[in-house]
Amino acid sequence: MRRMLSLGLGLVNWIRSRDGDLIALRRAGRAAIVMPALFALGVKVIGNPTVAAFAAFGAFSMLLLASFSGPMVDRVRAQIALALCGAVFVTVGTLVSTVDWLAAIVTAAIAFAVLFAGVVSSVLASATTALLLALILPVSLPGAASTIPDRLAGWGMAAGAALLAITLLWPSPTRDQLRGPAIASCRALAARLRTHVAYVLRSEPVSLEDLTAACDRAETAVHALERSFFATPYRPTGLSTATRVLVRLVDEIGWLNSVVFQAAARVPVGPADRPVCAWSSWPQRQCSRRGPTCWSARARIRRLCAPR
């Protein structure tokens, strides 16, 4: 019994070392449950192989090939949009599937448009493979226009099952790979400002080593934020206000770090600017909140650091 328990714990630790948030395991588990169930429903209950095939491959597409992040509401919206767009591709692919040269031209044009659209938004980039399968599958299976209702029925079954699966079957927690590093960067910059002010005013026992350590921590935090931003598989960009603010926030934190560095290089001889000292922890409080409140930090930083 102990041996089995130790083997189980070792397996869990091995999985977590490679899949920290168990995202891949969640997706694989949902697909392993939903895909065979839909195929069995289509073959044994409905008795329509076309419905069964499109339901199974649709579940495979929407549960394994597409992965959306963010709050659950945003994920549900993206999943619904994927289902609707996939239904359009299934219809178009079926209509051109009987003419080889037309199918090749339409597939190439739509595939180029789908892949190019991934540049606009990370949501679209996350769904490109799933959308391509929704087009390639009906094109690869030539069928008359009379088969469109059966194919759409299977795709609709897959969409409904996938929507229930992502919300009810071991739903993934909200992931925001940049908010944590952004908050850490703002806190490190705030600590750097406070340490620098205390060192200049001699209001607290702060040594040069403490100031150097605070500067190093701020530089490390900002560089970690930039690495997280550039290391994401799909850059977190989009057309919504929240995503555009998030991208601008990374640039503004880097800009603020350079401003603080330049200010530290010119240690003032006279008295320090008291409003700036009082403001030193303000970005931390703003960026610790959710939503687009981080955007107001940019305007205030610009006003405070503007030449007088």
How many C-beta atoms lie closer than 10 Å to residue 166's C-beta? 24
Closest C-alpha among 71, 99, 79 to residue 242: 71
Based on the fold, state whether residues 164 and 25 are members of the same structural domain.
yes
More confident residue, 149 or 28: 149
Among 168, 202, 231, identify where a domain stops.
168
192 CA to centre of own chain: 30
The answer to whether residue 276 scores a pLDDT higher than 60 is: no
Both tokens assigned to 258: 């350079």
What is the C-alpha to C-alpha distance for residues 84 and 237, in angstroms, rounded to an integer?
22
Q: Name the pLDDT band for 78 (thresholds 50, 70, 90).
A: confident
| The residue type at 90 | V
The answer to whether residue 41 scores a pLDDT higher than 90 is: yes
The answer to whether residue 75 scores a pLDDT higher than 90 is: no
What is the C-alpha to C-alpha distance for residues 117 and 27, in angstroms, rounded to an integer?
24
Based on the fold, state whether residues 124 and 159 are members of the same structural domain.
yes
Assigned domain for 11 exists: no
Based on the fold, state whether residues 30 and 161 are members of the same structural domain.
yes
Q: What is the mean pLDDT of residues 296-301?
A: 51
Q: What is the mean pLDDT of residues 15-41?
A: 81
Q: Name the pLDDT band for 269 (thresholds 50, 70, 90).
A: very low
How many C-beta atoms lie closer than 10 Å to residue 267's C-beta? 10
Based on the fold, state whether residues 138 and 232 are members of the same structural domain.
no
Based on the fold, state whether residues 201 and 156 are members of the same structural domain.
no
What is the C-alpha to C-alpha distance for residues 227 and 198, in angstroms, rounded to an integer?
30
- For 52-141, strand residue ranges (E) read none
More confident residue, 100 or 263: 100
Both tokens assigned to 289: 């909140």
Both tokens assigned to 126: 């996350």
The total of structural domains in the chain comes to 2
- What is the DSSP code (8-state) at residue 146? G
Based on the fold, state whether residues 24 and 77 are members of the same structural domain.
yes
What pLDDT sits at residue 138?
94
Q: What is the mean pLDDT of residues 9-19?
A: 67
Closest C-alpha among 173, 168, 151 to residue 52: 151
Side-chain half-sphere exposure of 185, counting CA atoms within 13 A = 29
What pLDDT sits at residue 265?
53
Q: Find all residues with CB under 8 Å of 149, minimum gap 6, and list them.
A: none
What is the C-alpha to C-alpha distance for residues 174 and 33, in angstroms, rounded to an integer?
23
* Domain limits for position 148: 20-168
**Is 164:83 a contact under the CB 8 Å cutoff?**
no
Based on the fold, state whether residues 186 and 164 are members of the same structural domain.
no
The answer to whether residue 59 scores a pLDDT higher than 70 is: yes
Based on the fold, state whether residues 62 and 129 are members of the same structural domain.
yes
Q: What is the mean pLDDT of residues 250-267?
A: 70
Highest mean pLDDT among 197-206, 214-223, 256-265 belongs to: 214-223
Based on the fold, state whether residues 158 and 195 are members of the same structural domain.
no
What is the C-alpha to C-alpha distance for residues 62 and 160, in angstroms, rounded to an integer?
10
Assigned domain for 6 exists: no
Q: Name the pLDDT band for 221 (thresholds 50, 70, 90).
A: confident
The answer to whether residue 288 scores a pLDDT higher than 50 is: no
Among 168, 190, 221, identify where a domain stops.
168
Assigned domain for 7 exists: no
Assigned domain for 14 exists: no
The answer to whether residue 266 scores a pLDDT higher than 70 is: no
Q: Name the pLDDT band for 175 (thresholds 50, 70, 90).
A: low
What pLDDT sits at residue 182?
82
Assigned domain for 9 exists: no
Based on the fold, state whether residues 30 and 82 are members of the same structural domain.
yes
SS3 48: coil
Assigned domain for 276 exists: yes
Both tokens assigned to 43: 């073959």
Assigned domain for 273 exists: yes
Based on the fold, state whether residues 162 and 29 are members of the same structural domain.
yes
What pLDDT sits at residue 281?
47
What is the C-alpha to C-alpha distance for residues 274 and 251, in angstroms, rounded to an integer?
26
Q: Name the pLDDT band for 105 (thresholds 50, 70, 90).
A: very high
- Name the one residue in this structure whose structure tokens are 């959710």: 290
Closest C-alpha among 66, 50, 155 to residue 114: 66
Among 168, 202, 218, identify where a domain stops.
168
- Name the one residue in this structure whose structure tokens are 């948030």: 21
The answer to whether residue 286 scores a pLDDT higher than 80 is: no
- For 178-231, strand residue ranges (E) read none
Based on the fold, state whether residues 190 and 163 are members of the same structural domain.
no
Assigned domain for 5 exists: no
Which residue pairs from 302-307 have beta carbons closer than 8 angstroms and sit at least 24 positions apart in sequence? Answer: 304/275, 304/276, 304/279, 305/259
